[in-house]
Amino acid sequence: MGERIIVGISDQKIASNPDVLVSYALGSCVGICIYDNVMRIAGLAHILLPDSANRQDNINVYKYADTAIERLIISMERKGCVRYRLTAKISGGANMFSSIGKSVGEKNIEAVKKELVRLRIRMIAEDTGGNFGRTLEFNSVSGMLLVKSIQRGNVII
C-alpha cells in the first residue's frame, strides 16, 4: 500500500502507483478525479465554487471549476499523461442546505461537467447530488474511486 495523499478544499494533488488521493468532507464541493490508465497517474481537485468570474479574492485557481480542472490536466500532462487517455470521475455536489433555485452543489456539478466537455475529457462515472457529505479515496493503481458516506455507506465508481 502506498502513501495516502490528502487533498484539501480548494486544492489539488497528483499521485502515481501505488499512492491514494484522499479528500474529506465534500458537501456542496465537487471532487474531480482524473486518471491516465497507461501511466497509472491519478489527479484529484477539490473545488469549492463553480466560477471564478465574480471572485473577491486573489485567485486561488484550485478553488473554482473553471480554472482548477484545466490546471490539473496541465500538471498531469507535465508528468507524462496524454490528454486523449484521460478519463474523469466526479463526486460531491450535495445540497447541504435548503435553497431557493439551484444549490451551490448543483451549480458546481454543472460547471465541472461543462469544463470536462470543453477540455475533451471523457467522464466515465459520477456519484453526485443528494443531501449528504462524502469522503473520496482515489486509487492511482486501479483508477477506482471509493466514495464513503455515513448516510449511505461505501460506493465504488
Q: Provide the Cα torsion 112, 114, 118, 123; round to 10°.
A: 60
Single out the catalytic residue among 20, 29, 81, 109.
29
Measured CA to CA, the distance from residue 81 to residue 21 in angstroms comes to 17
In Å, what is the CA distance from 131 to each residue of 37, 95, 147? 32, 5, 14
Contact partners, residue 9, CB within 8 Å, separation at least 6: 29, 46, 48
Phi, psi for 53 (deg, rounded to 5): -60, -40
29 is catalytic: yes
**Contact criterion met (CB below 8 Å) for 58 and 150:** no
Task: Give the number of other Cβ atoms within 10 Å of residue 57's Cβ.
Answer: 8
Q: Which residues are catalytic?
A: 29
